[in-house]
Amino acid sequence: MFRMKTVLAASAAALLSMPAFAGDIMINDAYARASGMNAKAGAAFFQIMNHGTEDDRLIAAKSDVAKRVELHTHKEIADGVMKMMEVEEGFPIAAGGMHALKRGGDHVMFMGLNAPFVDGETLTVTLVFEKAGEMTVEIPVDLNRNPMGGGMQHGKPEDGKMGEGQGTMTMGDGKSN
């Protein structure tokens, strides 16, 4: 039975291996995690690429998986002590640029989880951009992912290429892209 669950989880991840697009904005390599089955909080990480000629900004995220969903980052407050805090102004994505949401940095924070995150399942999250508007992303839960995973190294793709990612997107009308 455990083996069947593993095969099903791997199959689901393979089905979600295409990047998500909304106009000039692309979400790539998305995944979510919580620290354990009894965790009261979780987070989502991904790359936001702006293939357009105009700067944009991720200004909010929404989901029914938690009581509160916020854009967060980590900042050093004193003597190497890091504090997680909300970023009310959101995350800028320069025209032709990429902004990585990753562990230990910027991320989408889910507080007051309504149910545990289950490895291999997906979360529906609506990302709100200042110019591109709303896009709904299906983010796979990956509780075993290596923090340095996803082909990212120091905030840049290893080989300068977009690479394969996880997550799919549907527009506000419910149609998949």
pLDDT of residue 109: 97
pLDDT of residue 11: 42
Q: Of the candidates 45, 47, 44, which has an alpha carbon nearest to the alpha carbon of residue 27?
A: 47
pLDDT of residue 146: 75
pLDDT of residue 112: 96
pLDDT of residue 116: 95
Q: What is the pLDDT of residues 126-136, one digit of tens each?
A: 999 999 999 99
- Point out the residues of the chain with pLDDT beneath 70: 1-22, 147-177
What DSSP string runs through 136-150?
EEEEEB-TT--TT-S
pLDDT of residue 26: 96
Q: What is the pTM of this model?
A: 0.73
pLDDT of residue 80: 81
The radius of gyration computed from the CA coordinates of the chain, to the nearest angstrom, equals 16
pLDDT of residue 12: 45
